[in-house]
Structure 1
Amino acid sequence: MRALLQRVSAASVTVDSTVIAEIANGLLIFVCAMPQDTPATAETLANKIAKLRLFKDDAEKMNLNLAQTGGSALVVSQFTLAADTRRGTRPGFSKAAKPAVAQELYRHFVHHLSSLDIPTQRGRFGADMSVALANDGPVTIWLDTEE
């Protein structure tokens, strides 16, 4: 699985002019399932994200994880993280998992992250979403379970 994390002071997802999810301080997490991914892969990624020390402590060092700050996660499915741009000018997305598999892995990832005592909101899988965020730092981290 691939994930793009953005530390935020606020983030929201809107579908059809309605805000369906929003958080204050925390992480906006864009996730993409790949064909070889399994529920175990989703759990590994969720565990890694929950433990990452991306938030400042009293000394202004990034030493705290999401749970230690009382922050939340907003998880958005994003198949475009699998973009192949090696040829031409139009990205290919054949490296992304098929929608039915990706949806199940997305749900599993969200469920597992929630089970780690991380308050979790989510976007709507497959929907045309508008994502708003206030990036804090900015801090943006790329994760790939295959690397």
Structure 2
Amino acid sequence: MRALLQRVTQASVTVDSTVISRIGPGLLVFVCAMPDDTQETADALAAKIAKLRLFKDAEGKMNLNLAQTGRSALVVSQFTLAADMSRGTRPGFSYAAKPDLARTLYTYFADQLASLGIPTERGQFGADMSVDLTNDGPVTLWLDTES
């Protein structure tokens, strides 16, 4: 699985002019399932994200994780994280998991993150979403379970 994390002061997802989810300070997690991913892959990614120390402590150092700060995660499916840009100028998406597997793993991943004590909101799988965010820092990180 691939994930792009952004530390945010706020983030929301809008579908058809309606805000469907919103968080205050926390992490916006764009996630993409790959064809060989499994529930074990999703478990590992959720555990890693839950433990990441991306929030400032009393001395201003990034030393605290989501649970320690009581902050939330907003999980948004984004198959474009699997884009193949090696040829031409139009991205190819054959490296992304097929929609049925991707939906299952996206839902499972968000459930696993929530089960680790992280307040978790979600986008809408497969929808044309508008994502609004204010990046904090800015802090943006890329995770790939294959590496």
Q: TM-score, normalised by structure 2?
A: 1.00
Q: CA RMSD in A?
A: 0.3
Q: Which residue of 2 aligns with 1:6?
A: 6
Match of 2:110 in 1: 110
Count residues with an aligned counterpart: 147
1:43 and 1:26 map into 2 onto residues whose CA distance is 20
1:1-147 to 2 correspondences below 5 Å: 1-147=1-147
3-state SS in 2 of match to 1:139: strand
State the Cα deviation string for residues 95-123 of structure 1 (Å, max 9, x = none).
00000000000000000000000000000
Task: Structure 1: state its 5+ residue gaps.
Answer: none
Give the Cα–Cα distance (whole angstroms) in 1 for the partners of residues 68 and 4 of structure 2: 21
The Cα of 1:53 is off from its aligned counterpart by 0.3
- Give the share of equivalent positions with the same residue, in percent: 75
Q: For 1:67 and 1:12, locate their aligned partners in 2 and report how far apart those are by CA, in whole Å.
A: 20
- Could you list the per-position Cα deviations for residues 29-59 of structure 1 after superposition, in whole angstroms to 9, with x for gaps in the alignment? 0000000000010010000000000000000
1:74-93 CA-to-partner distances (Å, cap 9, x unmatched) read 00000000000010000000
Structure 1 stretches of 4+ with a deviation exceeding 2 A read none
**Residue identity opposite 1:122 in structure 2:** R
Q: Distance between the aligned counterparts of 1:113 and 1:97, measured in 2? A: 20
Task: Return the alpha-carbon distance in structure 1 between the equivalents of residues 68 and 23 of structure 2.
Answer: 16
Matched residue of 2:124: which SS? coil
Q: Which runs of 5+ in 2 are unaligned?
A: none
